[in-house]
Amino acid sequence: MNTHTKLKGIGLAALKGSTELLMVLPLLLLAGVYLFPENVSLWLWLITLPVCYAAGFAINQLLNISKMFLMLGMVICVGAIDAISLSGSSYAFFIVLPVAAVCVYRGARMVTVLWSLMFPVSFYAVGLVIYFIGSVVLQFVPSFEPYLPFLTGFGLLALALTFLMTNQTMMKQETLSGNKEPVLASGVLLQNRVLIILVLVLIVLIVYIRKLQAALLWLKDQIIAWLNQLLNHSSEPPPANQEVTPPPSMNLGETPPPAAWLQWLEKVMMFLVGAALVIGVLILLYFAAKRLPPLIKRLFQWLMLRFNQRGLHQQDTGYEDDIENLMDWKGLNSSLTGSLRQWLKGQFHSKGSWSSMDNRERARFLYREWLRKHTKEGYKLQKHLTPEEISQDIQRWRKREPSSSLGPIVGIYEQARYSDKTLQEADIEVMKKFVETK
């Protein structure tokens, strides 16, 4: 591995670490604002955390640490260096150390574990929930008011990343390649990205609608003042404003503070109003989730026509395993939870490509390998055909007579794909031998 590749990997580790930190930034801001002493810089601490990811990646790439106790020792040492350099001997050392150690550990694991397994798409949804709760609760905290613009800006960035990563993951799951790099037409990528950009622009307009309204009003006042200056050719100075003496003030004395029970009642009412607003927003989101997918689907179809999708689809290569729609709204929840289960399983079990599959997945994998073998030999796949018709077409392509006995490959695959019947190990072995010999 050359130096350029190593440096690129270190930079990607820092970038991926920054993405993970972005999704939990409200929690980090709370810890820094309310737990750090004045001599510890909040922003300097946040800047050093991606560096911890890069340091963990670089050290593990150099030393190839495989023992857990050695990994923990390295993580604690690097985390302690970061904590001492930031907090010195203050109590903030015990806050900075565990956070830095976690960052170093996750950066080190990026050397051997795919980041998509370490940080699945479901974690982005958790990050959005954190931002939503933080934006609702922290706006009632006066001491956190200077940080609310940062929370809003980073929240929009987190939302954009969530849309992009969710879209990319769904598209990869709908391809044949599996763990390999998927092959997608440029038209499909362009349409999905344009759709995401339109949704993000709409969200930004909604979030900043008050500021945009104020900016437009200011611009209108400036234009009116400029036009008045152009139309007013009078050189006479305006009359001096006559000073108006204020009326004598009535000495009513200082207003006494409200009673304690009134202050308590005010806080309770603020809490109830905030809770009602949160519940109302959740109800609106629920109804929007039911109504918006058809509208977005219509917009997506319109974009397909605009970008001449019919011609661009001809650039696709590879086999599509009964994929009807990339905008699979009903399957989004199952895909997110499936990614989370896969990540949790990967934390405690070694990942073997073949051993981790069940018989149904193995049958589909062997069928794809069988198709891939023929496409590499020059066969042009007809994606509109059924599996049985594809098998007959392959035999015609090899100049053989189609027969009713097409081998076990199609029957076992269709049983795995469409039937609920459990496949036996013997079926997989027969299918495997057939694929290896054909």
User: Which single residue is written with the structure tokens 């992009």?
Assistant: 164
Q: Quick one: pLDDT at residue 44? A: 93
Cα separation of 53 and 20, whole Å? 10
Please report the pLDDT score of residue 326 as a whole number.
47
Q: What is the DSSP string of 193-259?
A: HHHHHHHHHHHHHHHTHHHHHHHHHHHHHHHHHHHHHHH----SPPPPPPPPPPPPPP---PPPPPP
Phi and psi, residue 308, nearest 5°: 55, 60
Give the Cα separation of 186 and 170 in Å (integer). 16
More confident residue, 211 or 133: 133
Q: Could you write out the three-class secondary structure of 349-417?
A: CCCCCCCCCCHHHHHHHHHHHHHHHHHHCCCCCCCCCCHHHHHHHHHHHCCCCCCCCCCHHHHHHHHHH
405-429: average pLDDT: 79
Per-residue buried b or exposed e for 403-433, using 16+ beta carbons within 10 Å of the residue's own CB: eeebbbbbebbebbeeeeeebeeebbeebbe
| Rounded Cα distance, 326 and 173, in Å | 9
347 — pLDDT class (breaks 50, 70, 90): very low
| pLDDT tens readout for residues 370-400 | 888 888 888 888 877 888 888 888 888 877 5
| pLDDT tens-place string over residues 8-18 | 899 999 999 99
Query: What pLDDT score was predicted for residue 11?
Result: 93
Angle subtended at Cα 358 by Cα 355 and Cα 364, rounded to the nearest 5 degrees:
105
Q: What's 423's DSSP letter?
A: P
Task: Inform me whether the pLDDT recorded for 223 exceeds 50.
Answer: yes
Q: How confident is the model at residue 318 (pLDDT cuts 50, 70, 90)?
A: very low
Residue 416, pLDDT > 70, answer: yes
Average pLDDT of the chain to the nearest whole number = 76
Residue range 36-46: average pLDDT? 90
pLDDT at residue 20 above 90?
A: yes
Q: Given a cut of 80, is residue 329 above it in pLDDT? A: no
Report whether 191 contacts 309 (CB < 8 A).
yes
What is residue 98's DSSP assignment? H
Handedness of CA 318, 323, 325, 331 (dihedral sign): negative
72 falls in which pLDDT band (50, 70, 90)?
very high
Q: Provide DSSP, 108-171.
A: HHTTTS-HHHHS-HHHHHHHHHHHHHHHHHHTT-GGGGGGHHHHHHHHHHHHHHHHHHHHHHHH
User: Could you tell me which residue, 31 or 325, shows the higher pLDDT?
Assistant: 31
Burial of 231 (0-12, 13-18, 19+ CB in 10 A): exposed
Q: Tell me what pLDDT residue 173 has.
A: 64
Mean pLDDT comparison of 48-62, 115-129, 295-309, 332-346, highest-scoring range = 48-62
Instruction: Give the pLDDT mean for 192-206.
Output: 70
Provide the pLDDT for residue 139: 86
Concatenating the DSSP letter of every residue in 27-58 gives HHHHHHHHHS-TTS-HHHHHHHHHHHHHHHHH
Q: How confident is the model at residue 30 (pLDDT cuts 50, 70, 90)?
A: very high
Using an 8 Å Cβ cutoff, are 408 and 431 in contact?
yes
pLDDT at 351: 43
Q: How confident is the model at residue 310 (pLDDT cuts 50, 70, 90)?
A: very low
Q: Is this model's pTM higher than 0.75 or not?
A: no
Crossing angle of helices 148-173 and 25-35, in 10° steps, is: 150
Q: Given this model, what pLDDT does residue 246 score?
A: 59
321 is written with which tokens?
Answer: 């395993």
Q: Give the model's pLDDT for residue 419.
A: 79
Res 252 pLDDT > 80: no
Which one, of 415, 421, 426, lies nearest residue 367 by Cα? 415
Q: Quote the pLDDT of residue 178.
A: 47
Angle between helices 260-306 and 186-207 (to 10 degrees): 150
